[in-house]
Structure 1
Amino acid sequence: MSHPHLLTPEEKLADAKKRLSLPHIVVICGSTRFMSEMTQADLRETRVGRIVVKPGYDMKSPDGLSSDPAEAEALKARLDDLHRAKIRLADEALVVGDYIGDSTRAEIAYARSLGKPVRFTHPEVDPDA
């Protein structure tokens, strides 16, 4: 007797996106020092019909960090968790900028571990190239 195949959460999400006829979803990754470039990439991706999710909070801006180091670290951890959720939601990642720091390198590795394609605005910075 064969058992029915139970769908993984990722398969359920892919099925739901297909049933809803959602356009391709792109998550923008990279250092928040490239926020204006991320906005330009968002415009380009949206123009061709893709849904775009990107960092919504710039911890490098003057009002981005709390003066309390513990609060700042807790906020960064929450934002990192939120961005990983955006990566799980997306169909592919687009890395913006000509610099890859530790956080962006971790985002790229996470996206690739999930089997997500990763594109670069500056392919020469691809850590796996």
Structure 2
Amino acid sequence: MSDPRLLGAEQKLADAKKLLSLPRIVVICGSTRFMTEMTEAELRETRAGKIVVKPGFDTKSPDALRSGPAEAEALKVQLADLHRAKIRLADEVLVVGDYIGDSTRAEIAYARSLGRPVRFTHPAVDPDA
């Protein structure tokens, strides 16, 4: 392992994952309209021995946390920031669903800018294909 004082945050995280003997971490991205498919993908990836993180909140379903437009917009920003943190933590990204909206497209671009491999359950929707 390299001298931690000379490493960037990304390398420190990679070294810590190795020291802890962590399995690969995959983050699931996609529209929350595909929550059922995300849960199925989570099961497959877990069976493959990976740690899986995915959206923890279905923004397409009504709930008490979003009582008005201002609260809904603030929650959307908070969830987007949280999901980008999940992408930074992950070793790879799995995009679920046969539709890519603006938010998912931005997540794919962000993941690729970090050098994360991106896989698709429906490869035809890859915006860079």
Pairwise TM-score range, normalised by the shorter structure: over 0.9
Report deviation, 1:5.
6.8
Relative to structure 1, is the Cα distance of residues 12 and 90 closer, same or farther in structure 2, using a 3 angstrom cutoff? Answer: same
Which residue in 1 is equivalent to 2:53? 53
Which residue in 2 is equivalent to 1:98? 98
Which residue in 2 is equivalent to 1:113? 113
Helix, strand or coil: the match of 2:37? helix
Which residue in 2 is equivalent to 1:38? 38
Which residue in 1 is equivalent to 2:88? 88
CA distances 1:41-89 after superposition (whole Å, capped 9, x unpaired): 0000000100000000011112276231111111110100000000000
Letter in 1 for 2:93: A
Relative to structure 1, is the Cα distance of residues 58 and 104 closer, same or farther in structure 2, using a 3 angstrom cutoff? Answer: same
Q: Are the counterparts in 2 of residues 59 and 65 from structure 1 also a CA contact under 8 Å?
A: no
Which residue in 2 is equivalent to 1:63? 63
Letter in 2 for 1:48: A
Which residue in 1 is equivalent to 2:13? 13
What is the TM-score with the length of structure 1 in the denominator? 0.94
Report deviation, 1:6.
1.3
Aligned partners of 2:126 and 2:12: how far apart in 1? 30
CA distances 1:18-50 after superposition (whole Å, capped 9, x unpaired): 100000000000000000000000000000100
| Count of residue correspondences | 126
Identity of aligned residues (%): 83
Deviates more, 1:96-105 or 1:60-69: 60-69
What is the TM-score with the length of structure 2 in the denominator? 0.94
Say what the alpha-carbon RMSD is for the aligned residues: 1.4
Aligned partners of 2:27 and 2:17: how far apart in 1? 15
Question: Is there any run of 5+ residues in structure 1 with no aligned partner, and where?
Answer: none
